[in-house]
Amino acid sequence: MNVLIIGAGPSGLILALLLAKSNIKVTLLDAATTIDDRPRAAHYSPSAIRTLRKAGVLDDVRAEGIIPGDFNWRRQDLSLVTGLKDTPESRGEDGLTCLPLNLLGKVLLRHVVRTEGIELRWKHKVRDVGQDGKGTWAVAEVEGGEVRIEGDYLVGCDGANSRVRTCLFGESFPGHTWDAQIVATDVYYDLHKHGMSDINNIIHPQDYYMAAILTRAGLWRVSYGEDPSFTHEQVLANQPAKYERMLPGNPKPGDYQLMNVAPYRIHQRCAEKMRVGKILLAADAAHLVNPFGGLGLTGGIVDVDGLAQCLEGIEGGCCGEEILERRVSKRDPVDPFKDDPFLRYVREMELDTTGEMRKEFNKTAYDICHDFTQYYTKSKDGKVLEKERDDGVDGKVEV
């Protein structure tokens, strides 16, 4: 099997590494000349940590990143509303880990370039994709013309503005964009000395923000809400006043070192379909979510893990293509909750002296995962697998 992956961002690179471990050949195409160097997201929850371990990169990620401690919700005066003494599984092997996405990209790239079976082609701007009776193809613009590359399957991992998705569905990307603007800033300003925890969510009608330590060197991510009508230039101009008003110590520009300012919009969208024949969409190309739930980056990483399981099963003769429809059904969005009970549960957990609520809470860190190998119908040595589980989930045993 040869899989074409469009997009050499984190999701595309991770998918390539996972497939290569099953001896599936991968051709990665990207319009850029190297990985995206913007910091962007930074936190990987326990479910994503499992995938990074599978891909063989976790040790390097942990060597360069940090495992944060407490996770709290606070009022503007920093008084505590409620919190978690440790981030999910922080004392276990799957502990939430922090590493800015541009640094994760460098780790992934190092592994990809030395992994046999992965061909990475920069400066290949995909213009069109399609499929026929033989498989899939992509047409890419390159210096001096264009090329056609073929594969058995094609996966769009090319982000929110996915060309693969556009080729399939035009400009349609159903969902909602909030009339709100978030500004992500990276700054050297010691918030620990003001009594903040490693991760803090400040609750306020206007000056709400999230502040989290990113690196051992003391770089913090401060993401805050801004007037949605502001242009990029207005966001930059208002940043000093925003910091001075909302951050502890009321810092002026000379009190901190600002490294990055990145405004962005908040979306909740899902492609019409995540599969059209042998063409598949994954991660941000397939779905966008509100970043404050912590499932944007993590959701993309877990998504490509599940897709890799499906393709590995097909390649190994363990199942048919129907497993790809299983994946689609698991990744379809659900109706949003009318009432989010999360903060109430955290407060109740604070009062639970038995520790049982915390144990149950820690288990939810893996809820986003789904084991697609349970749908294999044959083992790799050709033995038939029967579905025989009494918990309501299809399973398998050898007979």
Taking only Cα atoms into account, the Rg of the chain, rounded to an integer number of angstroms, comes to 22
Model confidence, pTM: 0.83
Mean per-residue pLDDT over the chain, rounded: 90
The predicted structure's pLDDT at residue 349? 87
State yes or no: pLDDT of 386 exceeds 50.
Answer: yes
pLDDT band for position 311 (50/70/90)?
Answer: very high
Residue listed under structure tokens 């110590």: 249
Closest CA to 202 of 300, 302, 77: 77
Indicate the CATH number for domain 176-267. Answer: 3.30.9.10
The predicted structure's pLDDT at residue 88? 56
| Count of residues in the chain | 399
Domain spanning 2-42+101-174+271-333+369-386: which CATH class is it, in words? Answer: alpha beta
Domain boundaries, the chain: 2-42+101-174+271-333+369-386, 176-267
pLDDT per residue as tens digits for the range 28-53: 999 999 998 877 889 999 999 999 99
More confident residue, 335 or 267: 267
Q: How are beta strands 175-188 and 153-156 bridged, if at all? A: unpaired
Closest CA to 108 of 7, 2, 217: 7
The predicted structure's pLDDT at residue 399? 39
More confident residue, 207 or 39: 207
The predicted structure's pLDDT at residue 387? 64
pLDDT band for position 289 (50/70/90)?
Answer: confident
The predicted structure's pLDDT at residue 92? 79
**Maximum mean pLDDT: which of 139-148, 340-349, 361-370, 381-390:** 139-148
Q: Give me the mean pLDDT over the 315-342 stretch.
A: 77
pLDDT per residue as tens digits for the range 57-75: 999 999 999 999 888 999 9
- What is the rounded CA–CA span in Å between residue 273 and residue 94? 32
Instruction: Give the rounded percent of residues in the chain with a pLDDT score beyond 70.
Output: 93
Distance of alpha carbon 352 from the chain centroid: 32
- What is the rounded CA–CA span in Å between residue 282 and residue 305? 10
Domains 2-42+101-174+271-333+369-386 and 176-267 share a fold: no
Q: Is 113 helix (H, G, I), strand (E, B) or coil?
A: helix
Q: Give me the mean pLDDT over the 155-172 stretch.
A: 97
Alpha-carbon torsion angle 348, 351, 292, 42, nearest 10: -150
Q: Look at 5-14, 45-54, 175-184, 345-354 and tell me which has the smallest mean pLDDT.
A: 345-354
pLDDT per residue as tens digits for the range 270-283: 999 999 999 999 99
Q: Look at 45-59, 74-88, 99-113, 197-211 and tell me which has the smallest mean pLDDT.
A: 74-88
pLDDT per residue as tens digits for the range 224-246: 999 999 999 999 999 999 999 99
Q: What phi, psi does 2 have (nearest 5°)?
A: -125, 125
State yes or no: pLDDT of 204 exceeds 80.
Answer: yes
pLDDT band for position 87 (50/70/90)?
Answer: low
The predicted structure's pLDDT at residue 392? 43
- What is the rounded CA–CA span in Å between residue 98 and residue 305? 19
The predicted structure's pLDDT at residue 86? 73
